[in-house]
Structure 1
């Protein structure tokens, strides 16, 4: 079932809640520029295994409200906290993909892992999406700026180009169009604003604040968040386990959905 939760006076977050009576809960945080539908191939299977699967659309994306501002990692993490508080979630597993992984890490640090018993990071954009003086991995600032500029000039073309590097395996034309449509559901200004956060924010100091068991799943062929990011996360997060997904790019949740689902189920126990 779907419903809205108010996280600020004028901002409501859309929540998709499947199998709410289940004993174990997973809260999914999607990546840029999509929405909760990104996890269709987890929601197809995990509820039948006894899991409550909750997906939210980040502000500015999917069915959520689309304010013009409020796209820092702190604000997005606070939105998650408001959802967790409203739903009274406790002892749940937090799963974040791409920028959703980055926001999940910020949530863990900013809100002291509130309610979270385990964390899973899928192709997470952390500890930094962009290259820095002491971190030679990821994208250049100029590359991200080009994405932002292209978002304002021709967002459909930008999204199509992003889809071309998202997956490692061949995707059918209908699937490619489905993925493309997810990006179009966002507002253009929120799409650009989150790119700005990806460019400017870093999570190096946040990693050490994570105290719960953490599973890192990362596609070896990821062109969006290169595999060295996963190695840096494993080094920075105590009690973390890294599982390389050998036949995937950034879209591991679909390209190797059976393996990803299996790893998540085994991790939660």
Structure 2
């Protein structure tokens, strides 16, 4: 078995409204893995988006890892709860995106997500622009990390709405105990979209979870840090392989 076969395949699931090319530098920094991706930028419904992801995961020979960011992280957790992956690499992920007021440190109010959906019908560009402005901290903008983000406007309005429905309605929090695979969590401490409290929640509720906190980082903690994160992730995955924490290894 060669090294690529031993490490397996990473299936990449991008965040809401984002081009899959946002992961290009991470893929380049992880040449010892196979790479695949799901394009749900034209999904017409919440159901279709979920089916696209499930079908892709079921077609890949193990060991399979899911690399998910934000919306993609929620979809990845859903797959893990169904036993469809051997490991997770999650960025700015949340097991339940919409939360009641008393859990504002772990997610957004449902009303705000509904407002975004209504706004898409009037001016989708304005909604996307406002969302993208929330992705980075002031320091990250000063460092021009935001300039590494791919251009917007690549999703259809139907897909944008489908993604919002996933964020509103999908809930994996009550099923975290079903997850048996190891998880590598990367989360910015200043994330305004998936608050850092969501990462602490995941790390406390999932036995084989490791949290890598990125100080002073917002919602895209991997951007501009790909080489370092790839190095940490590779070391961690090798540890999981030796310890036998993944069923397929």
Runs of 4+ off more than 4 Å:
171-174
* Structural mapping, 1:241-260, within 5 Å: 241-260=210-229
Contact 2:29–2:226 under 8 Å retained in 1: no
Does residue 151 (structure 1) correspond to residue 104 (structure 2)? The answer is: no
Match of 1:130 in 2: 98
| Structure 1 residues not aligned, in runs of 5+ | 1-20
Structure 1 position 67, deviation (Å): 4.6
Using the size of structure 2 for normalisation, the TM-score is 0.83
More helix per residue: 1 or 2?
2
Aligned positions, number: 231
Match of 1:42 in 2: 26
Rounded to whole Å, the distance in 2 between the matches of 1:139 and 1:108 is 23
Does residue 57 (structure 1) correspond to residue 33 (structure 2)? The answer is: no
Match of 1:97 in 2: 69
Using the size of structure 1 for normalisation, the TM-score is 0.78
Cα RMSD (Å) of the superposition?
A: 2.4
Contact 1:245–1:256 under 8 Å retained in 2: no
Does residue 68 (structure 1) correspond to residue 40 (structure 2)? The answer is: no
| Structure 2 residues not aligned, in runs of 5+ | 239-249
Structure 1 position 34, deviation (Å): 1.2
**Aligned partner of 2:130 among 161, 167, 181:** 161
Match of 1:10 in 2: none
Rounded to whole Å, the distance in 2 between the matches of 1:226 and 1:251 is 12
More strand per residue: 1 or 2?
1
**Deviation per CA, 1:79-134, whole angstroms, max 9, x where unpaired?**
23322333x42112221110101001111123x2x3x322121101x222122277
Match of 2:11 in 1: 27
Contact 2:81–2:172 under 8 Å retained in 1: no
**Aligned partner of 1:81 among 29, 54, 65:** 54
Match of 1:4 in 2: none
Rounded to whole Å, the distance in 2 between the matches of 1:198 and 1:85 is 22
Rounded to whole Å, the distance in 2 between the matches of 1:92 and 1:85 is 9
